[in-house]
């Protein structure tokens, strides 16, 4: 049901997400991003923000790996669609860097998301069309 190419793109994206999360962590993304601050603001002081951000990143990494191993192909296709939305959301690093004409935490690895995301969405759409035709 899910093509080998889409599976490979998913597997390639896992280390990219890990590298991206580490870049964000080590460059202080949690101190500069207003969306992150808004979401995790109720958790308290900056040391809690750091811990929360790192925990969030690790949870995402584990979710990706475990999901690939245990989900049914139908559920995995839904997860892959959600992951595709994250590829789009990660464009925010590039946009914020362009607006400020400065480095924005997460930008370096964030530049790879549109490239992989393009091929990912192309293959994901093919898989959804194939899934709809079968049902």
- pTM beyond 0.75: the answer is no
Q: Measured between alpha carbons, how far is residue 44 from residues 23, 30, 38, 41, 82 in Å?
A: 23, 13, 11, 6, 29
Q: Per residue in 72-128, pLDDT tens?
A: 777 888 888 888 898 898 898 899 999 999 999 889 888 988 899 999 999 999 988
| pLDDT range class, residue 44, cuts 50, 70, 90 | low
Q: Per residue in 48-58, pLDDT tens?
A: 677 778 788 88
- Whole-number pLDDT of residue 30: 77
- Whole-number pLDDT of residue 72: 75
């Amino acid at each position: 049901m899910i093509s080998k190419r889409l599976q490979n793109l998913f597997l390639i994206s896992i280390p990219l997400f890990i590298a991206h999360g580490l870049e964000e962590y080590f460059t202080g993304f949690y101190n500069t991003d207003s969306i992150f601050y808004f979401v995790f603001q109720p958790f308290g002081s900056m040391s809690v923000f750091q811990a929360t951000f790192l925990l969030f990143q690790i949870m995402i990494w584990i979710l990706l790996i475990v999901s690939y191993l245990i989900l049914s192909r139908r559920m995995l296709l839904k997860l892959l669609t959600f992951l595709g939305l994250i590829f789009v959301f990660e464009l925010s690093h590039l946009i914020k860097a362009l607006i400020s004409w400065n480095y924005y935490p997460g930008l370096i690895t964030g530049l790879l998301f549109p490239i992989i995301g393009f091929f990912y969405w192309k293959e994901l759409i093919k898989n959804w069309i194939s899934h709809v035709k079968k049902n």
